[in-house]
Amino acid sequence: MSPEYRKNPEAVSRLSPEQYRVTQEGGTEPAFDNPYWDNKEPGIYVDVVSGEPLFASVNKFDSGTGWPSFTKPIEPRNVVEVRDSTLGMVRTEVRSAHGDSHLGHVFDDGPVEAGGLRYCMNSASLRFIRLDDLEREGYGEYRRLFEHSDGGRQR
């Protein structure tokens, strides 16, 4: 039986002001001044509010933007894309499907060999779970992502 992910009011109440601003109000954290933009450890990233699995280090790359960037989600059903026309431009917002957290935006300027997408996420909306902690944290099924890789280290 797979876990049921949902917006957890208790988790929302524990968010830092920055996490709340980003996830609940659609804010953006500063580039190069966030915990995961340069994280190269193997593991997965989950929604800070619902815990739903979103991205893996095996799909993370250095986009040069100062935010964590991924070529694809590990569970496409956990990611919702929404048209965003704020700030005078049309973009595609990325939200968590079950937690309804604002995560960031997706752009079509990612690595061509990996599909061409760049999921540009806010660290404030993510919780990182190290490869060695996957089982203990209840995400053991995602260890398979790292079995035939370089350990999940960022390229």
Options 49, 94, 106, 120, the catalytic residue: 120
Q: Where does residue 27 rank: exposed (0-12), middle (13-18), buried (19+ CB within 10 A)?
A: middle
Query: What would the DSSP string read from start to end of 27-59?
Result: --PPTT-STTTT--SSEEEEETTT--EEEEGGG
- Tell me if residue 120 is catalytic: yes
Q: How many CA atoms lie within 13 A of 52 on its CB side?
A: 24
- Token readout for 32 is 């190069």
Cβ within 8 Å of residue 138, ≥6 positions away? 3
Catalytically active residues are 120
